[in-house]
Amino acid sequence: MTARAAAPAPDTVSAIDTDAVVIGAGPAGLFQAFQLGLQGLSVHIVDALPHAGGQCAELYADKPIYDVPGIPVCTGRELVALLREQLAPIQPQWHLGTQVQALETLADGRFLLTTTAGTQLRARCVFIAAGVGAFVPRTLKIAGIEAHLGRQLYYHPTEVEVAEGRQIVVHGGDEDAVAAALRCADDHPAARVTLLHRRDVFQAAPELLARLQALRDAGRITVVAAQINGIEEDDGRLTALLLTDPQGAAQRLALDQLWVYLGISPRLGPIADWGLAMERKQLLVDAATFSTSQPGIYAVGDINHYAGKRRLILCAFHEATLAAFAAAELVSGAKVALQYTTTSARLHAILGVEHPGAS
Ligand SMILES: Cc1cc2nc3c(=O)[nH]c(=O)nc-3n(C[C@H](O)[C@H](O)[C@H](O)COP(=O)(O)OP(=O)(O)OC[C@H]3O[C@@H](n4cnc5c(N)ncnc54)[C@H](O)[C@@H]3O)c2cc1C
C-alpha cells in the first residue's frame, strides 16, 4: 500500500461489500471469523496459502498440541479441522492462495482491501491475523528467470496445463517436489519428467520414495543432481537451465516448464506499509479491544503485541473474542450484551442448532 490516510474513493464499483475481512486463516483468523459470525457480522477470509491452518498446517501438521483448553491432545491438522468444523455454520467467504496486497481507508470510513488475485473487498472492519507473515513459496535467485513466471516458471503449482510431450523439470528435494514429479509422470504419460535437486537424496514418505524409484527404473522420471546457475533463452522463451553438477562440471538441461518446490517461508509483506503502529514487526494493540492504532482495524494472534503478550493459540482465541465484541459495538454504535452459546436463541439460530431450554 499505499498510504493509510483517508483516500479518495477509487473505482470500487466491482468491490465486494462485507462487514469484516479477516487477513490470515491460521488458528487466530479461523476463530476470529467464528466470533464475528456469532456477532452477526458477514466475513471474508483471505490467506496466501491454498489451505487454512497457518503454522499449525504448514509447520507442524502431524505434531501434537497439548495446551488447547478442553482438548487434551490433537495434531496441528486436527485442530485446524476442528476450527473449520466449528466455523462452518458461519459460512464465511474464502479467498485462498492469494495475499492481501493493499489496504486503504475510504472517505466514508470503510476499508478497501485488494488481493494479489485482483479481488477488492470493501469492509467496515478488518482483522489482521497474519501470524509471522504470509506463507509464500521460496523463489529462485537466478538472473532473468522471473520474466518467465506464469508462462514457463511456476512456484508450487497445483494445476498446470502440460502439453503432450513437453519437457517438465520439477525442482526441489522435499516431499512436495517428489509428489509433484510423481503426479506429473502419472497424469502426463507423454511428458518427459526430470526431478532436479542439488543432491540425489530426497526427503519424502517411504511410499513416495519407493514409487519414485520405480518410475526412475521404468525410465519415466530422470533425476538430475545439480545446481542451477543460469538460464538459456531464445526469442523470449526459456529453453534450458545451465547447471553445475556435484563434481563441478557444467551441464545444460533443456525444458519447456519449470515447477519449483523450494519450500514455503513467511514474509510480513505489505502489512508494514499500512501505516499502523508497530514494534519489531508486531502490530501494537490495545489489550481491551485488540484495536490497532487505526480504529476499525484489529490485530490478533502472533502478529500483535501488548504488555504480557504470549504467542499461544489460546491467547489468540481470547484476543479474537474481545476484538469481535469491540467491532460489533463499533459497527452498531451501541453496547453489545454478552450472550451464552448455551442458552441464547439468537446464537442458536446463527449456529443452526436447536435447544429446548433456549431463552
Ligand atoms: C513448531 C511449532 C509448534 C507450536 N506448538 C504450539 C503449541 O503446542 N501450543 C500453542 O499454543 N502454540 C504453539 N505454536 C504457536 C502457534 O502455532 C502460533 O501461536 C499460532 O499459529 C498463531 O496463529 P496465527 O493465526 O496468529 O498465525 P499463523 O498460524 O502464522 O497464521 C497466519 C496466516 O496468515 C496468512 N497471511 C499473513 N499475511 C497475509 C496476507 N497479507 N495476505 C493473506 N494471508 C496472509 C499466512 O499465510 C498464515 O496462513 C507452535 C508453533 C510452532 C512453529
**pTM attached to this predicted model:** 0.85
Mean pLDDT, to the nearest integer, of 46-72? 95
| Residue 316 alpha carbon to ligand 1 centre in Å | 10
Pairwise CA distance, residues 134 & 280, whole Å: 17
Please give the pLDDT value at position 12: 58
| Residue 299 alpha carbon to ligand 1 centre in Å | 13
Q: Where do the domains of the chain lie?
A: 16-136+265-351, 139-262
Band (1; pLDDT cuts 50, 70, 90): very low
Band (158; pLDDT cuts 50, 70, 90): confident
Band (4; pLDDT cuts 50, 70, 90): very low
Residue 164 burial by CB count (10 A; 0-12/13-18/19+): exposed, middle or buried?
A: exposed
248 pLDDT more than 50: yes
Asked, colleague to colleague, whether 16-136+265-351 and 139-262 share their fold, the answer is yes
How much is the mean pLDDT over the chain? 93
Instruction: Looking at the structure, give the CATH architecture of the domain made up of residues 16-136+265-351.
Output: 3-Layer(bba) Sandwich (3.50)
In 144-188, where does DSSP find H-type helix?
Answer: 175-187
215 pLDDT more than 50: yes
Question: Other C-beta atoms within 10 Å of 288: how many?
Answer: 10
Please give the pLDDT value at position 11: 56
359 pLDDT more than 70: no
Instruction: Looking at the structure, give the CATH architecture of the domain made up of residues 139-262.
Output: 3-Layer(bba) Sandwich (3.50)
Mean pLDDT, to the nearest integer, of 185-192? 91
| Residue 115 alpha carbon to ligand 1 centre in Å | 20
Which protein residues are within 6 Å of ligand 1, measured from CB? 23-29, 46-49, 54-56, 59-60, 65, 67, 99-100, 129-135, 269, 271, 301-302, 311-314, 316
The closest alpha carbon to 151, from 219, 235, 226, belongs to: 235
The SS3 call for residue 238 is strand
